[in-house]
Amino acid sequence: MQSVATRMIVERERERMAFRSADYWDLDCTLATRGSGAGIEFKARLLEVDGHRVAFGRDFGDDGQPSRDDVLILDEVSAGVVRDDLEGALATVESVEPKPYKLRPSAPFTTSTFQQEAGRRLKLSASRAMHAAQGLYQKGYITYMRTDSTTLSDTAVRAARAEAAERFGPDHVTDAPRAYANKVRNAQEAHEAIRPAGDHFRHPDTVRGELPKSEADVYEMVWRRTVASQMTDVRGETVRLQMGADLASPVVGARATLAASGTVIHHQGFRRAYEETREDTGDEQVEAVLPAVTVGEVVDVVSAVAKGHTTKPPARYTEASLVKGMEEHGVGRPSTYASIMETIQGSMCSKRAPRWCLR
């Protein structure tokens, strides 16, 4: 198991060594409404020039080079030309697309997802996270922490739903209990998911004074994740706008398309209790609070900023991302993740070979 994890790290390092960087540019714009509702500013991004989509980071592969040939890769000069043409120009709203937005809560913690989230949210290594969980388990605060199951017992479901209703209101609890399918390969599910112990979950504020800080933080994370798993979806509406503007200079193209999107949340749902952290994905989407505009309406391009980017090699594994990768490949068991991390850190991350370290 350790050899497979080591191979994953080595293969990632080989990808980094084979990487060749590439440069690309894009534009962020500030627009403003006109007429009776004049002066409401919002952000947008250059999407297309003459129907050719502008390249973003997601259009480059792990080797750093373009992964598709149907996108327009702007250089510094061409981006500057488009910027100069857009600043002070008028843009016409071409489409307004509202779509319902819904987000489900994550499943209760398995050992793997617990270690990943403890690393991201609490900055704990896998071994420190498991040490804190072991302490909580031995003191009777949480259930067994080595598990690959996302299932809660009937007792736990009732307790989670009761906590959600009491703390956040009955309208934040689902009509029927939620169940979560296990996505882990070869999951044995000998134990239920990690959750607060007992048939009534003690609120984190009531236990914080009884525990060391790391254990109190871990308990709160487990409590929030468990309660959130039985709460309602986040609901709202996402609106996507596209606007067109003529370009004065024919060097790059004659017509630019700008895009903006924003999400209005009508019901916070499980986010009242918990919001999962995530690895940085390099998402280039510009989210904005959007004004109410209609197709055919004209808006001002107040400013345009050209930004240069250089593709980056695949990131070295963190403990959290390596555990996730091991789980996806069916490597290791909940009881071995932390020890594998410790062994790798002790051997591969020695002074003799610091470049192999997990970041």
Per-residue pLDDT tens, the chain, 359 aa: give them.
568 888 888 888 898 999 999 999 999 999 999 987 788 999 999 999 999 999 999 999 988 999 988 999 999 999 999 999 999 999 999 999 999 999 999 999 999 999 999 999 999 988 999 999 999 999 999 999 999 999 999 999 999 999 999 999 999 999 999 999 876 555 555 689 999 999 999 999 999 999 999 999 999 999 999 999 999 999 999 999 999 999 998 788 999 999 999 988 899 999 999 987 765 544 444 445 688 899 999 999 999 999 999 999 988 888 878 888 888 877 777 777 778 877 777 766 544 444 445 55
CATH classification code of 111-228: 1.10.290.10
How far apart are the C-alpha atoms of 21 and 310, rounded to whole Å? 6
How far apart are the C-alpha atoms of 175 and 192, rounded to whole Å? 22
Q: Is 144 among the catalytic positions? A: yes
Classified as helix, coil or strand, 295 is: coil
How far apart are the C-alpha atoms of 14 and 17, rounded to whole Å? 5
Residues facing 298 on adjacent strands:
92
Structure tokens at 59: 């259009």
Q: How big, in percent rounded to 5, are the helix, strand and coil portions of the chain?
A: 35, 25, 40
Classified as helix, coil or strand, 220 is: helix
Confidence at residue 108, expressed as pLDDT on a 0 to 100 scale: 97
> What value, to the nearest 5°, has the Cα angle with vertex 162 and ends 160 and 167?
95
Domain extent listing, the chain? 20-103+234-310, 111-228
How far apart are the C-alpha atoms of 193 and 11, rounded to whole Å? 32
Confidence at residue 283, expressed as pLDDT on a 0 to 100 scale: 44
- Say if CB 243 and CB 86 are below 8 A apart: no
- Say if CB 72 and CB 207 are below 8 A apart: no
Q: Which of 101, 137, 141, 144 is the catalytic position? A: 144
Residue 93 has φ and ψ, to the nearest 5°, of -70, 120
- Check if CATH label 1.20.1250.20 holds for domain 20-103+234-310: no
Confidence at residue 352, expressed as pLDDT on a 0 to 100 scale: 43
Which residue shows structure tokens 């399918």? 181
Classified as helix, coil or strand, 250 is: coil
Confidence at residue 353, expressed as pLDDT on a 0 to 100 scale: 47
Report the amino acid identity of residue 341.
Answer: M
Q: pTM score, two decimals?
A: 0.74
Which residue shows structure tokens 């409590």? 223
